Structure 1
Amino acid sequence: MVKVRVNGFGHIRRLITRAAFNSSEVDIVAISGSFIDINYMVYMFQYNSTHGRFPGTVKAENRKLVINGKSITIFQDQDLANIKWVMLVLR
């Protein structure tokens, strides 16, 4: 299984995260979403104007995003240099 850390939580990265939950080969372990409130992250992930509502459960709990019972660490530092796991920044 490949562990993935998502940098940003815009439309494309939310779709990647959705796809990861349909795969047994990808594990989303962290998300950097520095400009987004975690409750808004829940809303944006749950509802998508193109792909429809996410069929599973999504909630915020203890400053983490919990998708289908899996807890995902959220980093909200605007300076990516402070997030030690960032190795590749997709733009």
Structure 2
Amino acid sequence: MIKVAINGFGRIGRLVFRAAVVSDDIEVVAINAPDKTPAQLAYTVKYDSVHGRFNGTVESDDSSIIVNGKRVPIVGNRNPAELPWGEMGVEYVLECTGAFLTTEKAQAHIDAGAQVVVLSGPSKDDTPMFVCG
């Protein structure tokens, strides 16, 4: 099972999360969403104006959202180099903020302990892009 963290919980981060939580091959071990409470994040997972209501249970506590009984810790740090990816066993970071779209900026996730960073937007340097579809 692949252990992923989602950095940024806007439109793309939420949709990636919705897809990941129903996969048997992916475990979301953390979400980084500065300035948002777990209750706010749970609400945005539960209700989507385009995709409709989430087909499962969504709750929150002081530090996590609980989706289908699985607790996902919420961290809130704008500096990816300070995120606890190594401590949390994160293998892949899904970079969904749109703010870290160069190799140099994405490297901070690697420095924090992740093994791979997947950019959700087009890179702003010569970082290779792969488009599947």
TM-score (norm 1): 0.89
> Residues 13-67 of structure 1: CA distance to partner in whole angstroms, max 9, x if unpaired?
1111110122111110100011212211011110001100001111112411111
Contact 1:64 1:71 (C-alpha < 8 Å) held by counterparts: yes
Contact 2:39 2:61 (C-alpha < 8 Å) held by counterparts: no
SS at match of 1:40: helix
User: What is the aligned residue count?
Assistant: 91
CA distance in 1, matches of 2:81, 2:38: 21
Higher mean C-alpha displacement, 61-70 vs 75-84? 75-84
Between structure 1 and structure 2, the one with the greater Rg is 2
1:44 maps to 44
2:54 maps to 54
1:79 maps to 79
1:65 maps to 65
More strand per residue: 1
Letter in 2 for 1:74: I
CA distance in 2, matches of 1:33, 1:15: 14
Contact 1:3 1:26 (C-alpha < 8 Å) held by counterparts: yes
* Percent of pairs with identical residues: 38
1:21 maps to 21
Structure 2: gaps spanning 5 or more residues: 86-108, 111-116, 122-133
SS at match of 2:29: strand
Deviation of 1:79 (Å): 2.2
CA distance in 1, matches of 2:28, 2:80: 18
Letter in 1 for 2:16: I
CA distance in 1, matches of 2:84, 2:23: 26
Contact 1:6 1:28 (C-alpha < 8 Å) held by counterparts: yes
TM-score (norm 2): 0.63
